[in-house]
Amino acid sequence: MRLSHSTWLEVESYLGKSDGIIIPLGSVEQHGPIGLIGTDTLCAESIANEIGNRTGALVAPAIGYSPAGFNMAFPGTISLKNKTFLMVMEEIIDSLVCHGFRHFYFLNGHGANILPVKKLIEKYAEIYIRIKSWWEFEAVNQLRCELYAGWEGMHATPSEVAITRALFRTVSDHKLGLPEKLDEAYVKAHAGDRHSAPEDHRARFPDGRVGSHSDLGTSEHGKRFFEVACSSGRSDYLNFLDDKTSNKSHASV
Ligand code: NI
């Protein structure tokens, strides 16, 4: 059930049965020569909506504007400062708390959103917050390894491109060479989108891909990723609602 497609009476009635809500988190940023600017938001929102269909959970509109500073040297990227993003997130949570929501499940599609949400988990001791990036689910991660081995990389990944190809659009008129292959140490050091300043980042990764061979991600793969992410997300959301332990223990990022 989508919040934006619901009436207030329907939301009031929902709150009589559940205090949980799913909020998709994405970005508006370049995703390489064949990846869509909205990739992170499109993936997160599609998966969240389907988890909502399968669980009966209410799904809020995606939060697509987020920190993406490292991509600002590529046209089309829109970036919020961390503090702005945190303020927006807090005011969204506060509004929903005011109506009685207590379980906030952030279905994430963008690495740089993880750290700010961890801060929110520390701040809001009285409610339950979990953030899950769709690629973190074990079954999804296995599929990424199986299909792409060392070419998943960090940005404009074949798995996210596969999902947008399956559900939205395939850009196929641009022939891509292999991206620079990153070693494990690099990936670890830059996890959560801890990349360099915009001009340096573009100089280092001129076509916008960061170690990711985007073109490996076929529409067929995308359907498989979508299904596995939705089925893992369904179980994870239901488990989250049942878990009555403190907020801090939900920081399963
Ligand atoms: Ni992305």
Which tens digits make up the pLDDT trace of 146-200?
A: 999 989 999 999 999 999 999 999 998 777 888 988 988 888 888 888 888 999 9
Stretch 111-135: mean pLDDT = 95
Ligand 1 centroid–CA 244 distance in Å is: 32
Neighbours of 78 (CB within 10 A): 14
Ligand 1 centroid–CA 149 distance in Å is: 18
Ligand 1 centroid–CA 40 distance in Å is: 5
Tens of pLDDT, residues 172-181? 877 788 898 8
Ligand 1 centroid–CA 135 distance in Å is: 10
Ligand 1 centroid–CA 186 distance in Å is: 18
Comparing C-alpha atoms, which of 81, 90, 219 is closest to residue 158? 219
What is the pTM for the complete model shown? 0.94
Domain ranges of the chain: 3-250
For residue 35, the Cα-to-chain-centroid distance in whole angstroms is 15
Ligand 1 centroid–CA 42 distance in Å is: 10
CA distances from 171 to 33, 44, 69, 77, 102 (A): 8, 20, 25, 18, 41
Residue 192: its pLDDT value, please?
81
Ligand 1 centroid–CA 229 distance in Å is: 15
Ligand 1 centroid–CA 13 distance in Å is: 35
Q: What is the mean pLDDT of the chain?
A: 94
Per CATH, the number for 3-250 is: 3.40.50.10310
Comparing C-alpha atoms, which of 169, 168, 140, 170 is closest to residue 152? 140
Ligand 1 centroid–CA 31 distance in Å is: 6
* CA gap 195, 70 in Å, rounded: 6
